Amino acid sequence: MKKDMICKLLIIGTGPGGYIAAIRAGQLGIDTVIVEAKKAGGTCLNVGCIPSKALIHAAEEYEKVLHYAEGKSPLGIGLAAPTLDLGRTIAWKDDIVRRLNNGVAGLLKKAKVPVVHGWARFKDGKTVEVETETGPQIVRAETVIIATGSAPIELPFLPFGGNVISSTEALALKTLPATMAVVGGGYIGLELGIAFAKLGTKVTVVEAESRVLPLYDAELTRPVMKRLADLGVAVLTGAKAKGVSAKGDALLISTADGADEKIAAEKILVTVGRKPVTEGWGLEEIDLDMAGRFIKIDDQCRTSMRGIYAIGDVTGEPMLAHRAMAQGEMVAEIVAGHKRSWDKRCIPAICFTDPEIVSAGLSPDEARKVSPEIKIGQFPFSANGRAMTKLAEDGWVRVVARADNHLVLGIQAVGVGVSELSTSFGLAIEMGARLEDIAGTIHAHPTQGEGFQEAALKALGHALHI
């Protein structure tokens, strides 16, 4: 039996929430231990945000040159059809993940936080047993942070295995499937579906709701719908997946009008959402209050048991790495005795589709619920000089504000490269900006950010460039 480890703070899970909490705790001089069953960095770094963005980037570049090769480039770049070496792309992606894994491990080392490798299980509220390769390890802690994250939801009639894959396997395919059915038209399904379509796969998206990306307002998703059509992605809305064909080479669905259909698919990618990881680590031993599927937390990420905090995907929506990181940082500071509570006005969300979608704060419909009258200013990139020079004229920026005092409630954008505008939006909301504040800030010319200023001007009734 190994000697018990005793620490002030124990963190379970090294995803973005967990590792950030550990680094911040280390900076604050808290004696901290972190447990990880797999590789450092969690879903985000190993099988989520990072590898998907690498694949999306490669696919985007490939599709662009393919387009140029077909003689459709307005840029004056001539070329023969490009060839794709998917093995090389995947190796490049794996190398990024490897370097970031090592990076997180290095950061934890620098923060003097030891990592215990293995599966953790609560014995009681202050004691965790970790099954390490070399036997069980007991860790005793004054305070514990649960950061166990989330996992892809499996459909009972489409269990993962064989040709039915989750986003994890989709990011590690060795060869390009000729056909792919994507079950679930949320952001993960569309991000990956678009990437594979660009690489040359014939993609069909099956979505049970009446439209894809149902969490974003319809207007925001329209440019993405247009691009899906251009890329030859078939989108079947109101359609339900039923199972796999007997041969395993097709997805069985019932269409919006109730007809049964077969969709040929070498791979069936199921992306119907993610669920919190609340099993296998002894939740039953400590009996925490739940909020639906998630662990219930207060505005300081405290659970119902004293000394136990929970952060990240296991605590609810939005399941975003940057939410988890902000929570992790906050909890470490609370444990160190700082006065902190969750006071974020805005957690921007980004969809890395083509074009990209950003939403910060409230949509027009949401805003109408908190303010009787609102003002909306929308500015299209087709009237933005920088977008024109970059062949990025699809899409727009929209600012939503209260009509009475012009307080900005929400900012949305859809367009090429808008992901990097997201923080300008978030910061404006966080600072309590009025429309005049955005309109009165000089935005550099020529940048896509000018669209933000113009949208504010438009809401004020005097846009200059449209």
Residues of span 272-301 touching other proteins by CB under 8 A: none
Q: Which is nearer to other proteins, 248 or 432 (CB)?
A: 432
Residue 149 sits in the site that holds other proteins (CB under 8 A)? no
Q: How far is the CB of 321 from other proteins (least distance, A)?
A: 4
> How many residues contact other proteins, by CB under 8 A?
96
| 86 lies in the binding site for other proteins (CB under 8 A) | yes
Residues 364-403 that bind other proteins (CB under 8 A): 383, 385-386, 388-391
Residue 333 near residue 24 (C-beta atoms within 8 A): yes
Q: State the nearest-atom distance from the C-beta of 400 to other proteins, in Å.
A: 17
Q: Which of 343, 356, 307 is nearest to 429 (CA)?
A: 343
> Residue 272's closest CA among 159, 419, 194, 412?
159
Distance CA 143, CA 349 (A): 31
Q: Cβ of residue 277: shortest distance to other proteins, in angstroms?
A: 19
CB of 428 to other proteins, least distance (A): 6
The footprint of other proteins on residues 19-38 (CB under 8 A) is 20, 23-24, 27
* 83 near other proteins, rule: CB under 8 A: yes
Residues catalogued as catalytic: 445
Residue list 407-436, contact with other proteins (CB under 8 A): 417, 419-424, 426-428, 430-431, 433
Q: Give the C-alpha separation, 216 to 229, whole Å.
A: 19
> Which of 38, 443 has the CB closer to other proteins?
443
Q: Assess contact for 403 and 460: CB atoms under 8 A.
A: no
Burial class (CB in 10 A: 0-12, 13-18, 19+), 108: buried
35 to 54, contacts with other proteins by CB under 8 A? Answer: 44-45, 49-50, 53-54
The whole-angstrom separation of Cα 95 and Cα 72 is 33
Least gap, CB of 124 to other proteins (angstroms): 31
Q: What is the C-alpha to C-alpha distance for residues 450 and 443, in angstroms, rounded to an integer?
A: 5
Amino acid at 405: N
Residue 92 contacts other proteins per CB under 8 A: yes
- Work out whether 181 is an interface residue with other proteins (CB under 8 A): no
- Give start and end residues of each alpha helix (H) in 287-417: 321-335, 364-370, 385-389
